[in-house]
Amino acid sequence: MASAMQYVESACAKCGREHSHTENHEYEYKDTVDDDMNCHICLAPILDPLDTKCGHTFCDLCITQTVKAIKMCPLDRKPTRIEELRESNYAFKRLLDKLKVECPNCSAGMERGQLEGHLQGRCRSKRVRCTYAGCQWNGPEREHADHVETCEFGFKNASIKNGAKTTIEFEMEEGELIGISVVGGNETPLIAIMVQEVFQNGAAKRDKRLKAGDIILKVNDMDIQDVQHVVAKNALSSAKGTIKLMVYREQREMDKFSSNLELKRVSIMKNKGVPLGISISGKKKQPGVFIVNVAPDSVAARDRRLKAHDRIVEVNGRRVNQIPPQGCLSCLREKSEQSRRNSKDFESSVAAEATYQPLRLAVIPRARAEKTVVIKKCSSSEKLGMSLAGGISPKVNIPIYVSKIGPDGCVGRSGQLNVGDIILAVDGKKLSDLSHQECLDKVQKANKNSRQVSFKVIEADDIENGGNGNSYHPSWLKWLALPPQIDNSKKVSLQKAKEESLGFIITGGIDSSHGPQPIFIQTVMPGGVAYKSKLLKCGDIIVKVNDNPLTRVSHEQALQVLRGVKEKADLVIKSWPGTLV
């Protein structure tokens, strides 16, 4: 938990200045005060007037402390006891309250009796302290929220809250990775950069705050809410020493609709090319996208249901609470004829795929050359001189690929294989559906006492990291761009109650703003069915649900299939590992 103190006022609530409870309030008077209204002990205008038995008037605090000390009136020296002091008459109090003073924060002029109310409710420059222990910041209340969001005393200990943005800070040792894998990027339907997995060895695991599913909004003050995957990857990979991340964590499944906000679904029919007539924006302390203005005489204004300050949660079933306003704007523009498309049958939706114009650049599978190479060796005992990665494991199923090539081995000398090449077979023996060790055994067996080894490979795509001197780790985008013949699909089953949701949010579809896309899992809701199963991750692709294929369907059609699941969902998914940073 953050080491936050209870909310602390930096100044007196009544006068707006700092002083102890044993000292009188302090005011800046705008006019000269008549001497008859001054206290003859503190020599300032009287506060909370009390009268002595002998007829003199002083401040409550001044006369009480004086009588306690000397037991007499300080003017005529007559014996006086505290219980003999009486409140002054109401008319004199009102005269004192009408004295003109100046607000110590905003310099506004007003009656002294009005200052406390001004400080509590109307002053825009009220000063407060930072709520984090150890921080000495003392500034206007209107700047307090912004300061707390960036306060270095909060980053190191702030806990990540569900449904809120949080900035955290932790230390990385020299040469250490953050130790997470990420998916997303604005060239994919996910748009946001999301943590897919937190690994055992790394700074994030040691810090213990980041979790799978967290959305990374900023890296060391660099905004990555709507950037390409490689931009986010470079920002995360280049972080050294102290790293600061702004993250957003989705609300728990059980809390999603627990607020007092009214949720309503609004359907508006409009003509192509005619804008809805709404302006949208984000808010600093609240996630999501909000309507700022509804233009007069617009489609939305004539409909009369959308209002300024309404929060947009979904656009035609697509959650937009995790993307910036410009991403929501793309969804709104993209869906201008959604109701028309949804009214047609499945075949017409597929036919529309050919003419649909993407609004964003997108990752699509690319054809790669398939070839057979023969590596000739100088001697039967010569080593190949390359490293392989991949294979089937309980967590992942990825093809075997060349991760490193040494300069002195026969592979490096021949120049026929490259880092990133996918190995389909060695000496005619397939390497698919095998564990990493089983694949290594087959390669070593083919290499043993042989003067040449043949490999059937799919040529590498352009290499974005690694090379002949460094171990290569394909990014998430590289896996997405694999040709269709590389299939790592697997089956998972989720069991739920009848009225319970499956606990994940999807994006993508043939009507995506990125052009025809698979159905991706965007978010696994904390506390939901999918979250508890530990079988699904953000970035997974859903291929089939209970024998219903989702490979060429619209987003709305995929939603209808998922909503139709009663108690058990048998899913076929493709799960590619995220980019390691």
Q: pLDDT tens digits, residue range 96-155?
A: 999 999 998 888 899 999 998 888 877 877 777 777 767 888 777 777 777 876 777 777
Say if residues 358 and 186 touch (Cβ distance below 8 Å).
Answer: no
Residue 200 lies in a domain: yes
**Residue 550 DSSP class:** -
Question: What is the spatial distance between Cα 229 and Cα 188, in angstroms, rounded to a whole number?
Answer: 8
Question: What is the spatial distance between Cα 466 and Cα 486, in angstroms, rounded to a whole number?
Answer: 22
User: What is the reported pLDDT for 272?
Assistant: 62
* Domain shared by 426 and 505, yes or no: no
- CA angle, corner 121, sides to 119 and 127, nearest 5? 45
* Domain shared by 239 and 283, yes or no: no
User: What is the reported pLDDT for 82?
Assistant: 93
* Domain shared by 343 and 391, yes or no: no
User: What is the reported pLDDT for 360?
Assistant: 60
Q: Domain with 47 in it: what CATH number?
A: 3.30.40.10
For residue 439, count other CB atoms closer than 10 A to its CB: 23
Residue 474 lies in a domain: no
Residue 423 lies in a domain: yes
* Domain shared by 416 and 458, yes or no: yes
For residue 384, the enclosing domain spans 370-462
- The amino acid at residue 17 is R
For residue 81, count other CB atoms closer than 10 A to its CB: 12
User: What total of structural domains would you count in the chain?
Assistant: 5
* Domain shared by 386 and 435, yes or no: yes
- Taking 50 as the pLDDT cut, the residues of the chain under it are 1-9, 254-261, 335-357, 465-469
Residue that is last in its domain, among 59, 79, 98:
98
* Domain shared by 350 and 374, yes or no: no
Residue with tokens 């500034």: 139
Q: Where are the alpha helices (DSSP H) in 184-258?
A: 203-207, 229-237
* Domain shared by 398 and 438, yes or no: yes
Distances (CA, A) of 367 to 131, 429, 459, 460, 484: 56, 23, 10, 11, 8
Question: What is the spatial distance between Cα 514 and Cα 510, in angstroms, rounded to a whole number?
Answer: 9
Residue 168 lies in a domain: yes
Q: Domain with 202 in it: what CATH number?
A: 2.30.42.10
* Domain shared by 573 and 493, yes or no: yes
Say if residues 268 and 281 touch (Cβ distance below 8 Å).
Answer: no
Residue 401 lies in a domain: yes
* Domain shared by 510 and 562, yes or no: yes
Residue 14 lies in a domain: no
* Domain shared by 389 and 458, yes or no: yes
Q: What is the pTM of this model?
A: 0.63
* Domain shared by 421 and 348, yes or no: no
Residue 116 lies in a domain: no
- The amino acid at residue 158 is A
Residue that is last in its domain, among 310, 330, 354:
354
Residue 263 lies in a domain: no
User: What is the reported pLDDT for 526?
Assistant: 84
User: What is the reported pLDDT for 284?
Assistant: 59
* Domain shared by 316 and 386, yes or no: no
